[in-house]
Amino acid sequence: METRSLVVPPTPEVTDGIDRLGDEIAELSAHLEAASARLLDLIREFDRRGGWNNGFRSCAHWLAWRVGMDLGAARERVRVARALHSLPGLAGALARGELSYAKVRALTRVATPETEERLLAGGRAGSACQVERIVRGWRRVDRSAETRETAQRHKHRALHVYQDEDGMVVVRGRLTPEEGSVLMQALVAARETLYRRACGADDVSEETSSMEQQQADALALLAETALHHGIDPGAPGERYQVVVHVDAAVLADAAASGQSLLEDGARVSAETSQRLACDATRVVMRHDAEGRTVEVGARTRTIPPALRRALHHRDRGCRFPGCDVRFGQGHHIRHWAAGGPTTLSNLAMLCRRHHRAVHEEGYRVERLPDGALRFRTPHGHPLPDVPAAPAIRDDAAQLLRTQNDAAGLRVNARTLCPIALWEPLDVGWAIDVLHPRAMQTAP
């Protein structure tokens, strides 16, 4: 037996109601896209002013904390906001509700002021899915061109070293950008070393060397240093070890008098010494009145391995609000030099950035009776783990429409609709038409 379902054609009233519902969805979506443009303007200005730099690692981390945005989405918002500063065409289309944020987000990955107009036309014509396909094709062309250019630069690298007729050695060459950057940084470091040596010498010549002469001396120093050390930077532990000499009184109280010096004699603040001593090996040395060493204790670790494992297991990363760093340093809530015990209840894990913020930037942390941590800004304001959402008293959709109408926007159900009407997309043809380098052949 065959069973057929009864199909009842919709009445004109039902069809009109569905159409009005669809138009309202399309119109409100366009209003939301226009509001997204305003949001990106605010994010860009907030980022430019460094408003997030009050204990947070980046503007994206601040957004994730303040408005509950996913960190990946927050990074994209900041990236798009920065990119739109130099892309007024895309920014204007988003502000008028003519392009969706999804399209603008994709287009800003490849758009430049020179190619913006072409990509804007493609964004208006296609769907978000088609725009993503165009952008992927565009990036393939860019990568191919960049690969060819990189290969050409690498092929033309050269260094000529020869002796001139007067006995002087002439050096002339071309390096790849990354190799050249390393050389320039090394020359800067060598020049600074030579300058410090000259300042400490007793018979400093009154004649001032030119920049070209300083560069020549710096290159000679680099060669001497490389030969002296056998072109071996040494063991990693030796290269990156930092030694701080600090008086016990200073370690216990930053306001106390005493020294806090690095191995080379450079002064550091007492707060820096306290931060470094929070989670490091230490050697206690006792001196007599003339400064002679009379006793050297064994090297000890502030936080033993078993306690460190328990700390990692409990905190699972940095405890500062809004931070997602999974690894960090043990921080003594009450410093061990001030009598604070090295116990789990007196420890909290902080990443390097926020460990510095607590010790040297005025942020404070305390453990409450229930075991929770409470962070405060340098001004004493509490930093909650999850900020309270702002209250919205009026109809949000109507408020949005009112604000956009006041800004002179004329938004309707067709504003956000692409003009291509879902025609099949030939990505190769689109890239050939849009990309200025698509038709270039490899040399």
Average the pLDDT over each of 25-34, 67-76, 219-228 and give the range with the smallest value.
Answer: 219-228
Note the pLDDT tens digit of each residue in 38-73.
999 999 999 999 988 877 888 998 999 888 888 899
For the chain, give percent helix, strand, coil, nearest 5.
Answer: 50, 10, 40
pLDDT confidence band for 260 (50 / 70 / 90): confident
Q: What is the DSSP letter of 420?
A: T
Note the pLDDT tens digit of each residue in 150-188.
677 778 889 998 888 877 889 999 887 778 778 888 888
Residue 367 dihedral angles phi and psi, to the nearest 5°: -100, 130
Q: Which two three-digit tokens encode residue 187?
A: 């020359």
Distance CA 114, CA 365 (A): 50
Query: Radius of gyration (Cα) for the chain, nearest Å?
Result: 32
Q: Which two three-digit tokens encode residue 76?
A: 């994209």
Q: Which two three-digit tokens encode residue 158?
A: 């050269």
- Look up residue 32 and give its amino acid: L
pLDDT at 372 > cutoff 50:
yes
Listed residue (328, 307, 306, 310) closest to 319, CA to CA: 328
Residue 358: CA count within 13 A, CB half-sphere: 28
Mean residue pLDDT of the chain comes to: 79
DSSP H helical segments within 156-298, as ranges? Answer: 177-200, 211-228, 236-239, 248-252, 270-278
Strand partners, 50: none
pLDDT confidence band for 212 (50 / 70 / 90): confident
pLDDT at 204 > cutoff 50:
no
**Please, is 376 exposed, middle or buried when counting C-beta atoms within 10 Å of its C-beta (0-12, 13-18, 19+)?**
middle
Note the pTM of the prediction, 2 decimals: 0.61
Distance CA 364, CA 71 (A): 25
pLDDT at 442 > cutoff 60:
no
Predicted local distance difference test score (pLDDT) of residue 439: 55
Q: CA angle at residue 142 from 138 to 147, to 5 degrees?
A: 150
Domain positions in the chain are 12-152+418-434, 157-197+218-229, 244-380
Note the pLDDT tens digit of each residue in 409-430.
787 777 777 766 556 677 777 7
Predicted local distance difference test score (pLDDT) of residue 55: 77
pLDDT at 383 > cutoff 50:
yes
pLDDT confidence band for 246 (50 / 70 / 90): confident
Predicted local distance difference test score (pLDDT) of residue 405: 81
pLDDT at 292 > cutoff 70:
no
Note the pLDDT tens digit of each residue in 303-313.
888 888 888 88
Give the pairing of strands 281-282 and 260-262.
unpaired
pLDDT at 340 > cutoff 50:
yes
Distance CA 244, CA 242 (A): 7
pLDDT confidence band for 74 (50 / 70 / 90): very high
